[in-house]
Structure 1
């Protein structure tokens, strides 16, 4: 059998058990506090007041225009290649 070291004896003593219980309680309370802080503040009052629909419409319109320009450019290149190959 292995010999019980001094650290094991101290951990199994009443003082060691109280220290272990206090440490466990500290970590559990810190875990609860961290979980409560992880939810963050409620900013729905601020975010509901902002309307991004016009900005989104403008961005999509610019993207559609660029896509149309790109398609016209590629179409012109296709026609030029077809004429040169004939």
Structure 2
């Protein structure tokens, strides 16, 4: 029983030290975020945005031309 008490006290102290160090440093995600290349992702997002703007301009231009033709 004496050994069990020493084990519980030692385990509790180790857990308290570990919790204190974890609370100050926080998790480290550099291995996960370092593997992502954002240059290709941002290029893809900008390409999709340019496509949407191009389609919107084409539709607006077609509407203006249709209004001009109807007005004749």
Task: State TM-score, norm by structure 2.
Answer: 0.55
Q: Which has the higher contact order (CA 8 A, sep 6+)?
A: 1
Runs of 4+ in 1 over 2 A off after TM superposition: none
The answer to whether residue 42 in structure 2 is matched with residue 50 in structure 1 is no
**1:45 CA displacement:** 2.9
Q: By how many angstroms is 1:56 displaced?
A: 1.9
The counterpart of 1:40, out of the listed 26, 33, 39, is: 26
Which structure dedicates a bigger proportion of its chain to helix? 2
Query: Equivalents in 2 of 1:75, 1:40: separation in Å?
Result: 54
CA distance in 1, matches of 2:48, 2:42: 10
Is 1:66 aligned to residue 52 of structure 2? yes
Structure 2 residues not aligned, in runs of 5+:
1-19
Alignment RMSD: 2.1
- The question of 1:80 aligning with 2:66 is answered yes
Aligned length: 51
